[in-house]
Chains A and B, each alone.
Chain A
Amino acid sequence: MTPGQAIAEFEELLEGTSITALILTTPIETITVRRQSGSALPVRPAGRFTVTAPCCGEFLHRHPLQPAPLVQIGQPVRAGAMLGLLRVGPLLLQVVAPRDGAIEAIADDGGLVGYGTPLVHLVTKDDA
């Protein structure tokens, strides 16, 4: 099982329970899955497509060398467009729009996010 699969499974276990955190300790690592209480974005509003974080990191609106954010609220984007970056240690992972849409909401710049945290809500053609 990969860490991603493990975390997804933990999520399922937590769903519908009053448990707020699951901690798995092995001889080499510890995985903590905590229920998000104060996420910047509400989870999946009806009729919206939500782009979520693929792992934990710092969500960035712009590349650290560039002054302008990659996208603005209200802006239409095509599938494959970059919406933001997730900084994980020295890595910058691209957060990409999986389909065409318009940016309705975006998580705070510089905010720490966890696996599955909603980053961007897209209004897609299907929603209109």
Chain B
Amino acid sequence: MIEVTETPGLATLQDLGRHGSLRYGVGVAGAMDRVSLAAGNLLLGNEAGAAGIEVPIFPFAVRFTAACRFALTGADCAARLAGRDLLPWSVHAANAGDELVLGLPRAQSGCRAYLVLLGGVDVPAVLGSRSTQIRGAFGGLEGRPLRVGDRLGAAAPSQAGPLGIGVMPPALTLPLALDGLDAMRVLPSAEYESLTASSRDAFWAGTWKITAQSDRYGYRLAGETLAFEQPVEMLSHGIVPGVIQVPPSGQPIIQMSDAQPSGGYPKFGTVIEADLWRLGQAPVGSRIRFIRTDWAEALAAQDAVQAWLGDIQQMIGLWSDYAGAQR
């Protein structure tokens, strides 16, 4: 169906994650921006758990070896199919032989693009997920990032949705910014009170840079050094994506999709699940802000994301019926 013709590295197959295996020491993995992946699957009428290709480094290119519908979501990366410009956040149709090229992401549009095939990429599920688990070298395609020459097929689609449609990017419909910078909401967690009052204030008031030491495992931030009232020594304990740790350097680390299941650094807080996709699209070198939130707001935020996806699903269904009846 497709053959990878160009990849500078780290493009992986991802779905919504491998849940329920943390107790075996297996991390969740899954797309860094699950909202983009979910929207791509909705656009095509795929199952919610279908796997797509997450592309973090460009240019990335594939050649279609058979006609195939696909969706592009995530960062707007000046995509071209057989030399024609393609819109981001839309469904497209490729003919056999067409090459799809994803270029550098447009500024402010995110940093990861998702290529989703009709039916989803057909690789075996491991522990209930097709996500690539790089540390464990399983899942996805042979447990590794894609290489030039890799061939991927699509699972048989249950139905084909309409062509010529796209959706509004969530960065525009669910925006969240503070003083002009992308922002994420954070719930304070267990060791929050162990930091000095001035460090706690600095975390909320400060601007944080995503350093080059940031990837699918975690983001290392640079900003004001955070200090504890007294040194905190802890045994390793369970952690999940979103947890913000404060190591002895005082520069926070946010655990991301490939987070290991345990860690021993004190925890300042947790980026709420509803905002992890925003962080997943924040490029290295960009500056972000944090907004303090509470449990009720965090749940409401997650409901808002689900409602937006539900709205898309309903509208695509209506348009599909309407467009089908017009033909």
Contact = CB atoms under 8 A, between A and B. Distances in A.
Interface of A: 2-5, 54-55, 63-66, 82, 85, 87-94, 96
Contacts of A4: 322, 325-326
A17 to B, nearest CB: 25
Contact of B168 (A3, A92, A94): A92
Nearest to A5: B325
A126 B316 CA distance: 36
Contacts of A3: 322
A87 B322 CA distance: 16
B215 interface: no
Interface in B272-327: 308, 311-312, 315-316, 319, 321-323, 325-326
Interface stretch (B85-93, B114-122, B198-206, B260-268): B85-93
Contact of A90 (B109, B167, B322, B326): B167
Interface of B: 76, 87-90, 106, 109, 164-169, 172-173, 308, 311-312, 315-316, 319, 321-323, 325-326
- Is the contact region of chain A dominated by helix, strand, or loop, or is it mixed? mixed
Contacts, number: 71
A87 B319 contact: no
A64 B172 contact: yes
A109 to B, nearest CB: 16
Nearest to B76: A65
A91 B42 CA distance: 12
Contacts of B315: 88-91
A11 B142 CA distance: 58
A66 B76 contact: yes
A94 B166 contact: yes
Contacts of A65: 76, 88-89, 106, 109, 169, 172
Closest 8 CB pairs of A and B: A2-B325, A92-B166, A94-B164, A65-B76, A91-B315, A90-B312, A90-B168, A89-B315
Given A91-B167, A94-B87, 7 more contacts: A4-B326, A65-B172, A88-B315, A88-B319, A91-B166, A91-B315, A94-B166
Contacts of B322: 2-4, 55
